[in-house]
């Protein structure tokens, strides 16, 4: 069964760093893109960026460029989303999404269950 | 890179058809046939309903259909059912080789 399993909920203070994960199973992790999507409380979906685990090539939305880092370790079939200094406005649910194509969804898409990040002093 | 524009809400009675619009520019919706639509029930993970403007993933009801004209894409739900009540988001590829979501539409079944 194809699955993306994300790391658990996090509660952090402003200024702290964080790295959340998304582990793929049931498919060849290196040939599918992994996108990250943010959903702030009560708000809509926002596309953050995408990585190709095969060569770690990444693309970022201009809104998130420089604010987060997307990476992947193909040896453990895991993608990561990290912050060096969290802000309260980073409080959101974060989803990872497996995609065959970087430019659009397809029949083979799969979403992770989401990771809730809460940043509060 | 601005979010694509969707109506905040659309409503209809059971059995009726409704259409949700998604307006962008020639740099996103109008420039590529790479528009997707997602359904999200409260507290749930989004679900892909349409990709490549008008293709349905396996398992998605044929009551859902997509189309595009110029810079505006549309999702039509025919034979509206109570279970269709949810939030809907469009998404498009952009000329920056990234993707952008729409502002989201709340569908209410009266």
The residue assigned the tokens 């009551």 is B63
Which A residues in the span 47-86 are in contact with B, Cβ-Cβ below 8 Å? 47, 49-50, 59-63
- Of the pLDDT bands very low, low, confident and very high (cuts 50, 70, 90), residue B1 is confident
Q: Which of A44, A50, A61 sits opposite B103 (nearest CB)?
A: A44
Go through chain A and tell me how many residues it has: 121
Instruction: Say what the pLDDT of residue A43 is.
Output: 98
Could you say which residues from 23 to 52 on chain B have a Cβ atom under 8 Å away from some Cβ of chain A?
Answer: 32, 34-36, 38, 40, 45-48, 51-52
Per-residue confidence at B25, pLDDT binned at 50, 70, 90? Answer: very high
In eight-state DSSP terms, residue B62 is T
Dist CA A36 CA A49 (whole Å): 6
pLDDT tens by residue, B33-83 = 999 999 999 999 999 999 999 999 999 999 999 999 999 999 999 999 999
The C-alpha atoms of residue A64 and residue A116 are separated, in whole angstroms, by 18
How far is B60 from chain A, CA to nearest CA, in Å?
10
**What letter does residue A13 receive in the DSSP assignment?**
-
* Cα–Cα dist B31/B25, whole Å: 8
Collapsing DSSP to helix, strand or coil, A76 comes out as helix
- Which residues have a Cβ under 8 Å from the Cβ of B74 and sit 6 or more positions away? B19, B20, B21, B22, B66, B67, B68
At residue A90 the predicted structure's pLDDT band, cuts being 50, 70 and 90, is very high
* Chain A to chain B Cβ contacts (< 8 Å): 73
A35/B52 Cβ within 8 A? no
Residue B25 makes CB contacts below 8 A (sequence gap 6+) with B31, B71
E strand or H helix at A39: strand A33-39
Separation CA B100–CA A22 (nearest Å): 21
- Residue A102 confidence (pLDDT): 87
Q: Over 90: is that where the pLDDT of A51 sits?
A: yes
Residue A102 near chain B (CB below 8 Å): yes
| Residues listed for chain B | 110
Task: Give just the sign of the alpha carbon dihedral B8, B14, B15, B16.
Answer: negative
CA of B94: which chain A residue's CA is closest?
A103
Helix (H, G, I), strand (E, B) or coil at B52: coil
pLDDT tens-digit map of A11-47 = 999 999 999 999 999 999 999 999 999 999 999 999 9
Among B99, B100, B102, most A C-beta atoms within 10 A, so best to mutate, is B99
Query: Which residue of chain A has the CA closest to B35?
Result: A104
The predicted-structure confidence for B5-20, as pLDDT tens digits, reads as follows 999 999 999 999 999 9
Percent helix, strand, coil in chain B, to 5, is 5, 50, 45
Decide if pLDDT at B104 tops 80. Answer: yes
CA–CA distance, B80 with B103 (Å, rounded to integer): 22
Q: pLDDT value at position B67? A: 98
Residues A118/A83, Cβ–Cβ less than 8 Å: no
Cα A63 versus chain centre, distance: 15
């Amino acid at each position: 069964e194809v699955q993306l399993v994300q790391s658990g909920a996090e509660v952090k203070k402003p200024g702290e760093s964080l790295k959340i994960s998304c582990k793929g199973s049931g498919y060849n992790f290196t040939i599918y893109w992994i996108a990250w999507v943010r959903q702030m409380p009560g708000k809509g979906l926002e596309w953050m960026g995408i990585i190709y685990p095969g060569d770690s090539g990444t693309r970022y939305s201009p809104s998130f460029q420089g604010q987060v880092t997307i990476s992947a370790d193909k040896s453990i079939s895991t993608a990561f989303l990290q912050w060096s200094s969290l802000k309260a406005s980073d409080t959101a649910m974060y989803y990872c999404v497996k995609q065959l194509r970087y430019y659009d969804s397809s029949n083979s898409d799969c979403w992770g269950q989401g990771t809730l990040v809460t940043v509060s002093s | 890179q601005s979010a694509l524009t969707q109506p905040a809400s659309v409503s209809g009675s059971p059995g009726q058809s409704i259409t949700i619009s998604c307006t962008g520019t020639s740099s996103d919706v109008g420039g590529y046939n790479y528009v997707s639509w997602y359904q999200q029930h409260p507290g749930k993970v989004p679900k892909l309903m349409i990709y490549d403007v008008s293709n349905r993933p396996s398992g998605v009801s044929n009551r859902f259909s997509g189309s595009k004209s110029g810079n505006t894409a549309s999702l039509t739900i025919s034979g509206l059912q109570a279970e269709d009540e949810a939030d809907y988001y469009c998404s498009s590829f952009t000329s920056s080789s990234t993707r952008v979501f729409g502002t989201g539409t709340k569908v209410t079944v009266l």
